[in-house]
Amino acid sequence: MALSSVLLATGCGSSAESGGDAKATAAVPAGFPVTVDNCGVKTTYDRPPSRVVTIHQHPAELMLALGLKDHMVGTAFPDSAVLPELKKDYESIPELAKKEPSFEKILDAEPDLVYGGYGSAFAENEGRSRKAFADAGINTHLNREYCGKKRVTMKDTYDEIRTIGKIFGVPDRADELVTDLQTRVGKATTAVKGEPQVPVFVYDSGDKSAFTAGGKSLGTELIRLAGGENVFADLDDVFGDVSWEQVVERKPEAIAIYDYAGAGSVEEKKKYLLSQPALADVPAVRNKRFVVLPLTATLVGIRSAYAVDDLARGLHPESFR
């Protein structure tokens, strides 16, 4: 597939695109300077960043899929198992912290760019505001899902990939990767075309209340593309808490369980849902109809296309026989 070909073509790097100290003396690639407006922060890059710290897994995987390993000096906050084709490269980059690293820890890596996946990457109350990094002479980029302005769609995934490709001077790689992902999504949506939409409840975590994906999340779009409908699409946020009474009222026929470290295992989540008397008559619970997705597959990044396929197979298995 195209993702593999991108990795094979770029995994070893080239003299014009390798990172580290050699990058500082390399000729500036054509197309620079590049100016990007990211969540209201305008940044001009005179050359591709050469020392990048990614906070959260999906920005790291996106960069690795574009063959940018040599530009990376640190990762942080792994959520799920890394894609097999990216695992070796991911593990070769120093992990700065299991959660978000401190401002000082990030500075120790001497980055010229910090690329965050969730808004918490740049939490002001923890000293990691984008202004704090700017004051230290370090550029920042936040995954567009957390710009907080509108509902996120697959177009945002493709735009994010192309933006990163632009920042690093590899637009052709970005276009190839986008084409691969679009093809993957197209095959899944074609397979379920005309099937009735399945009402889906996203269970991220929670016991007193349910933490779920709202209407602004990419998860809502993934469910729609896979032939389903998020029963909490009217929740005006990326994620939010809802009551179990609301879950019962909306009668989901399938439950998408988000799998990630630190929120309980998938089996624990299933056991909890199946053990609650109040949920016994919810169709998805009664029929034990669960679809498991790595959290990283539900975010703006390279895995979202994989999630559409997995969801479609879970919601409409008969379409793939």
Q: Within 10 A of 285 (CB to CB), how many other CB atoms are there?
A: 22
Contact 254, 315 (CB under 8 A): yes
* Phi, psi (rounded to 5 degrees) for 77: 65, 65
Report the pLDDT value the prediction gives residue 23, as an integer from 0 to 100.
45
pLDDT confidence tier of residue 14, bands split at 50, 70 and 90: very low
> What are the tens digits of pLDDT across the range 95-106?
999 999 999 999
Residue 10 in this model has a pLDDT that exceeds 50: no
Give strand pairing partners of 53.
Answer: 74, 114
- Of 57, 297, 295, nearest to 185 by C-alpha is 297
What is the C-alpha separation between 84 and 295, in angstroms, rounded?
A: 16
* DSSP assignment letter at 302: T
What H or E segment, with its residue span, contains residue 104?
Answer: helix 103-108
Q: Within 10 A of 23 (CB to CB), how many other CB atoms are there?
A: 18
Residue 133 in this model has a pLDDT that exceeds 70: yes
Average confidence (pLDDT) over 296-316: 95
Report the pLDDT value the prediction gives residue 238, as an integer from 0 to 100.
86
Residue 200 burial class via C-beta count within 10 angstroms: exposed 0-12, middle 13-18, buried 19 and up: buried
Contact 282, 242 (CB under 8 A): no
Predicted structure pTM score: 0.87
What is the C-alpha separation between 121 and 119, in angstroms, rounded?
A: 5
Cis omega (within 30 of 0) for bond into 33: yes
Residue 110 in this model has a pLDDT that exceeds 50: yes
Residue 138 in this model has a pLDDT that exceeds 90: yes
Residue 1 in this model has a pLDDT that exceeds 70: no
Share of the chain above pLDDT 70, in %: 91
Average confidence (pLDDT) over 66-84: 95
Report the pLDDT value the prediction gives residue 7, as an integer from 0 to 100.
52
What is the C-alpha separation between 234 and 229, in angstroms, rounded?
A: 11
Average confidence (pLDDT) over 143-167: 91
Residue 242 in this model has a pLDDT that exceeds 90: yes
- Give 121 or 19, the one with higher predicted confidence: 121
The mean pLDDT of the chain is 91
Query: Which tokens hold the place of 68?
Result: 């940018």
Report the pLDDT value the prediction gives residue 25, as an integer from 0 to 100.
46
Strands of the sheet containing 198-203, edge to edge, are 228-230, 198-203, 254-259, 290-294
* Phi, psi (rounded to 5 degrees) for 206: 110, 150
Query: Which tokens hold the place of 58?
Result: 């999906």
> What are the tens digits of pLDDT across the range 158-178?
999 999 999 999 999 999 999
Report the pLDDT value the prediction gives residue 263, as an integer from 0 to 100.
84
Share of the chain above pLDDT 90, in %: 83
pLDDT confidence tier of residue 6, bands split at 50, 70 and 90: low
Report the pLDDT value the prediction gives residue 261, as an integer from 0 to 100.
83
> What are the tens digits of pLDDT across the range 211-230?
999 999 999 999 999 999 99
Residue 211: how many CA atoms within 13 Å on its side-chain side? 9
DSSP string, 51-94: SEEEESHHHHHHHHHTT-GGGEEEEE---SPPPHHHHHHHHTSP
Biggest alpha carbon–alpha carbon distance for the chain: 66
Residue type, 29: P
What is the C-alpha separation between 254 and 243, in angstroms, rounded?
A: 17
Q: Are strands 34-38 and 41-45 parallel, antiparallel or unpaired?
A: antiparallel
Residue 204 in this model has a pLDDT that exceeds 70: yes
Residue 8 in this model has a pLDDT that exceeds 60: no
> What are the tens digits of pLDDT across the range 225-239?
999 999 999 999 889
